[in-house]
Every structure is written in C-alpha cells, then in structure tokens.
C-alpha cells in the first residue's frame, strides 16, 4: 500500500445538509434522526472505497456540521437518534485503507477532529439539553462503536449476528483512535478484565453479553427494535430543557475572506499571524434581539470564523508551526458583548453562543502549534478575547508610556469558558496560588503591563526600546527548535491540574497513538495497518516491549 507522505489535498470544513453525501437528517417533532449512509465513492481523495459505512474525514465533517446545526437551527429538537440506513451494519469505523494511505500528520489530525466531534456530542447533551441515542441496527466496529459511546444511551439489535467491537489492537496494531478505551472504562464503567478481553477479540461481543458487560444499555430483538428506539428517544427528550416554540438561527457557510478573522504570513518562515477583530457595533439588547441578528452577530460569526481558521491551520498548513495571536479593536465593545451574554444566559441562543465560544477556545488549546500572544496599543484583549492571551504559551505586552497597552478581564473569564481539564485558563495559570484568581478577577478596570505581569496574565513586558528585538528573538528561537519536541512540550504544559476523561483522551492520542502510528509494527513495510486486507500477508512484529 502506497503512503501518500503529505500529499493530502486541502480540506474544507464547511458543509450543508442540502448537500450531505453521507448522512440523512430528518425531524419528527422533538426527535431528530441522524442516519448514516456513507457513499462508497464519496471519499475526500481517490484510492479507497468507503464500504460498510466506514468513514473518512469528510464523513465526520458532515457529522460535526449536523450537530452544530441541531444546536443553532433546531432548538425544538430535544433528542437525536443516531443510526444507519444500511442493513445489518451500523458503522465499520474509520476506513482502514484511508488510514493506511495517509501521512502521519493526517492520521493524527483526523483522530483529533473525530475526538472533538464526539466530545461535542457529549457537551451538547450536558449543556444544551440535546440528548443522543445510539440505535445500532447492525454491527458497530472501531470508530463506529466509539461514535455510539459518545451517545447518552446505546441500543443494540439482538439478531444473532450484530456486535460491538474495538478491533484495532488485534487487526491493525494500533489503538482505537477516538477515545474508545477511555470511555469503556471511565464512562460506561466496564470492568477492567472484561474490557481487556473485549478490546483484544476482533469479532467483538454480541447481544445479551454486550448488555451484561455494560458495553450497551440494552440488546433488543429485531422485531421490537424500532418501537424500543422510538420509546427511548421520547424518554430522553422528556429529560431535555430545550425550548419549545423557539425559532432557530440559520448557519450560512463561513470561509475566506473572513469578516472578523485574518490569517497572514508572519515575519519569518513557518510563522503565521492570526488576528481576531473585535465587534464594530454595540451588542443587541437581549436574547431575542440577538436572534434577530442571527449568525451575523459578532459573538457568533467571529467565533465560527475563528473555528474554521484553526481547522485550516491544523490540517492544511502543517509547516506553519508558530501562531502569533492578536486581537484588535474596541475593548469596551468586547466587554459590552460579554455583559449581554452574562445577563441573558438563560435564553437558548445566548446559551448556544456561550457554548460555541467555549468549544472554539478549546480547539485553540489543542493546536499542535506554538501560540504567542502579542498585546500592543491597538489590541482588544478583553473579556472573551483575553482568553486568546490566556491560552497562549507565552504572552508579550508592550510597555510604552506614549502608547499605552491594556488587558482587561470580565465575567467571561470567571468560569464559563473552561478548558478540557475543567479549569479556567486563568485558574490553570494560578495552580500555585489559587486564592489569587478571585483577587485578579476583582481588579477594577484594565491591567497595565506591570499589573498584567504581576497577575500572571502575560509573560514579558518589553519596553518600546526593546520590543522589536525581543519579539524577533523569541520568534527566531522558537522556529529553530524541533517541532516534534515542541508539540510534546506544549501538550505536557497546557493542561496542568486535574485529569478528566477528555484530557486522558487527548493526552493518550498525543503520546501513545502518535508513537504507535510511527512504529513499524503498525505502519512499517510489514506492519499490521500496512498489510490489512492484503490476502496471504501477515504482519511481522518487533517483539521487544518499550
């Protein structure tokens, strides 16, 4: 099997239900059905066939789009049935030939995106009142079962042949790439010895045994499956607090040129500048006025654009390893928008807007790129945009009496935008002195450079005489270091503090899967992933344990 070694085409992350190729989204009152029907010839690139509802990145981009639209466009929906239109097949997981023919960076970024998408299903359940039911009308293997694991409940048809499985270790010599092992023991609380057996038997576990081992919630005879699915979907909907009678907000495609986000070349090779423009107008009066503005409202559009820019940087600009973060505009207007989102937090669209901002900032935290924030006279690092500076690996703030710089916090920094570790970015910076968080948040007005440095909001505050040289040296030094070592360094340092299921998933992806994908036992000439599907070929393993 030929490895493409970085020849993947640029990926667009925009999708539209009218043009979905792989999913069918239908509605029946408060219950939506998201049915998988992957087109075999619908891969992002030639060279593989998406058989048995196996998926590539394009399939998952549509899934992520569907979940986002359910949140914003369909507030009337309270539960979602995730199922398949194929007979006896729910989903065969990530397409093996796609993975085997992909470059190493694409494999890892593919896994990262699918992880974010499934975590966002769980986030929608926990915070948007959108409940998910995995209705497995056939076998769910690998990533297909991992998709089901992200749902609130899992029903498996008990037809004598359908099973759930995580066959990656025995068949491919790699790990399940989308949190399957972690969710089995951390979320579904499957006993460790049973999980060990399950994860090493390629054919998986069927019917009543799957339910007894807690791998699914219920195994249902085929004759009753449709009715039980309908009943459970209604029961899940009854647990939701989604509004009845609200009108949704349409989400048009976003793409370059953006209105509020700019990506441009930096002063050195492999450096890019990401500039977020603050709002140019005051916020609306309340949630209903926000709904009248729709997806063009700054708090929605700017963060949707930022999300698209981050994904393009991650997948399409692999050699740009250092991102300079800037925020420009009127800080007072940013703070005014924060006050709107705080005052009207109970409104369904305000809630979704706040959750959107949280998700996008979490995407920023997971960038395998160095993040430097530059706070300068034209900056508006305030409130929600101050999170960009707090997310940075380092912050540089100009100290110039003639051209004052400011950084200001708001209620947005106090808890509504947590990282995957459950802490705010401010609290993550103050693990040694947690009592300082309340003191910093109580600070009246903007922070001067000296105050910002004392509070741990920035790293260095060069004066006007030293600014250009210090910034240039910082960029040159970072750009000269090993990108591999920097990725590991940043991943180790960004999520200090408590461990969560999400940090386990991403930490293991960064470390274990990143390593396994490069080992000859998986991707070498005689590795299991390389030889998968080739008749008469068996993998040869280096038996040394490390």
| Cα(87)–Cα(81) distance, integer angstroms | 17
Q: What is the pLDDT of residue 369?
A: 97
| Cα(479)–Cα(95) distance, integer angstroms | 35
Residue 89 is assigned to a structural domain of this protein: yes
Q: Is pTM beyond 0.85 here?
A: yes
pLDDT at 6 over 60: no
Lowest mean pLDDT among 144-148, 367-371, 506-510: 506-510
Residue pair 311/363 in contact (Cβ under 8 Å)? The answer is yes
Q: What is the pLDDT of residue 7?
A: 58
Q: In what order do the strands lie in the sheet with 131-136?
A: 23-28, 31-36, 79-84, 131-136, 153-158, 218-221
Residue 537 is assigned to a structural domain of this protein: no
Q: How many folded domains does the chain comprise?
A: 2
CATH code of the domain in which 484 resides: 3.90.226.10
pLDDT, tens digit, for every residue of 200-241? Answer: 999 999 999 999 999 999 999 999 999 999 999 999 999 999
Do 281 and 214 lie in one domain? The reply is no
Do 124 and 229 lie in one domain? The reply is yes
Among residues 111, 184, 116, which one has the least CA distance to residue 145?
A: 184
Average pLDDT over every residue of 125-146? 98
Lowest mean pLDDT among 298-302, 436-440, 505-509: 505-509
Do 295 and 334 lie in one domain? The reply is yes
pLDDT band, residue 255 (cuts 50/70/90): confident
pLDDT at 432 over 60: yes
Among residues 389, 291, 303, 365, which one has the least CA distance to residue 119?
A: 365
Residue 538 is assigned to a structural domain of this protein: no
The domain boundary, picked from 436, 462, 488, lies at: 488
Q: In what order do the strands lie in the sheet with 205-206?
A: 88-91, 138-141, 163-165, 205-206
Do 149 and 218 lie in one domain? The reply is yes
Residue 387 is assigned to a structural domain of this protein: yes
pLDDT, tens digit, for every residue of 332-350? Answer: 999 999 999 999 999 999 9
Do 232 and 91 lie in one domain? The reply is yes
Q: What is the pLDDT of residue 5?
A: 36
Residue 5 is assigned to a structural domain of this protein: no
pLDDT band, residue 4 (cuts 50/70/90): very low
Domain that holds residue 193: 17-238
Residue 518 is assigned to a structural domain of this protein: no
Do 117 and 211 lie in one domain? The reply is yes
pLDDT band, residue 408 (cuts 50/70/90): very high
Among residues 239, 143, 156, which one has the least CA distance to residue 205?
A: 156
Residues belonging to the chain = 546
Average pLDDT over every residue of 508-520? 89
Beta bridge partners of 165: 141
pLDDT at 2 over 60: no
| Cα(78)–Cα(236) distance, integer angstroms | 8
Do 169 and 208 lie in one domain? The reply is yes
Do 230 and 337 lie in one domain? The reply is no
Do 226 and 312 lie in one domain? The reply is no
Q: What is the pLDDT of residue 252?
A: 96
The domain boundary, picked from 488, 516, 539, lies at: 488
Q: What is the pLDDT of residue 326?
A: 98
Residue 130 is assigned to a structural domain of this protein: yes
The domain boundary, picked from 238, 270, 301, lies at: 238
Residue 521 is assigned to a structural domain of this protein: no
pLDDT at 375 over 80: yes
Do 141 and 212 lie in one domain? The reply is yes
Do 222 and 319 lie in one domain? The reply is no
Do 231 and 372 lie in one domain? The reply is no
Q: How high does pLDDT run on average in the chain?
A: 96
pLDDT, tens digit, for every residue of 53-98? Answer: 999 999 999 999 999 999 999 999 999 999 999 999 999 999 999 9
């Amino acid at each position: 099997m030929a490895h493409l070694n970085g020849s993947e085409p640029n990926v667009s992350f925009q999708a539209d239900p009218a043009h979905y190729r792989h999913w069918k989204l239908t509605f029946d009152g408060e219950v939506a059905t998201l049915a998988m029907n992957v087109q075999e010839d619908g891969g992002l690139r030639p060279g593989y066939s998406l058989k048995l509802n196996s998926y590539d990145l394009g399939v998952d981009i549509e899934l992520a789009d569907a979940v986002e639209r359910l949140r914003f466009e369909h507030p009337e929906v309270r539960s979602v049935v995730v199922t398949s239109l194929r007979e006896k097949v729910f989903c065969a997981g990530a397409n093996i030939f796609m993975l085997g023919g992909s470059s190493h960076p694409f494999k890892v970024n593919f896994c990262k995106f699918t992880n974010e998408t499934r975590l966002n299903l769980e986030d929608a359940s926990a915070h948007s009142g959108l409940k998910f039911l995995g209705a497995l009308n056939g076998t769910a293997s690998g990533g297909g079962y991992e998709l089901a694991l992200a749902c609130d409940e899992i029903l498996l048809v008990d037809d004598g042949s359908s099973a759930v499985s995580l066959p990656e270790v025995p068949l491919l010599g790699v790990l399940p790439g989308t949190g399957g092992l972690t969710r089995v023991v951390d979320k579904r609380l499957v006993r460790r010895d049973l999980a060990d057996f399950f994860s090493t038997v390629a054919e998986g576990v069927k019917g009543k045994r799957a339910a007894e081992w807690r791998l699914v919630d219920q195994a249902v005879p085929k004759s009753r499956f449709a009715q039980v699915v309908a009943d459970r979907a209604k029961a899940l909907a009854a647990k939701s607090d989604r509004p009845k009678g609200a009108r949704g907000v349409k989400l048009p495609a976003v793409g370059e040129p953006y209105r509020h986000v700019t990506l441009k070349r930096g002063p050195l090779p492999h450096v890019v500048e990401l500039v977020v423009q603050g709002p140019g107008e005051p916020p609306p009066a309340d949630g209903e006025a926000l709904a009248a503005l729709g997806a063009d409202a700054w708090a929605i559009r700017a963060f949707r654009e930022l999300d698209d820019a981050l994904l393009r940087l991650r997948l399409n600009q692999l050699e740009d390893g250092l991102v300079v973060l800037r925020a420009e505009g009127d800080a007072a207007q940013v703070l005014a928008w924060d006050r709107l989102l705080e005052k009207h937090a109970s409104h369904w669209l305000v809630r979704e807007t706040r959750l959107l901002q949280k998700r996008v900032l979490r995407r920023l935290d997971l960038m395998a790129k160095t993040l430097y924030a530059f706070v300068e006279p034209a900056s508006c690092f305030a409130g929600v945009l101050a999170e960009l500076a707090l997310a940075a690996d380092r912050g540089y703030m100009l100290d110039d009496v003639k051209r004052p710089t400011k950084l200001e916090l708001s209620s947005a920094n106090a808890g509504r935008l947590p990282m995957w570790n459950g802490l705010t970015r401010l609290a993550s910076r103050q693990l040694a002195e947690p009592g300082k968080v309340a003191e910093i948040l109580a600070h009246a007005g903007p922070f001067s450079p000296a105050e910002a440095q004392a509070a741990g909001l920035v790293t260095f505050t060069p004066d006007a005489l030293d600014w250009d040289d210090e910034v240039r040296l910082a960029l040159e030094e970072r750009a000269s270091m090993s990108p591999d070592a920097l990725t590991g360094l940043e991943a180790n340092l960004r999520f200090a503090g408590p461990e969560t299921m999400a940090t386990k998933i991403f930490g293991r992806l960064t470390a274990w899967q990143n390593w396994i994908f490069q080992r000859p036992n998986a991707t070498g000439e005689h590795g299991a992933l390389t030889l998968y599907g080739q008749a008469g070929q068996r993998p040869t393993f280096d038996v040394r344990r490390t």
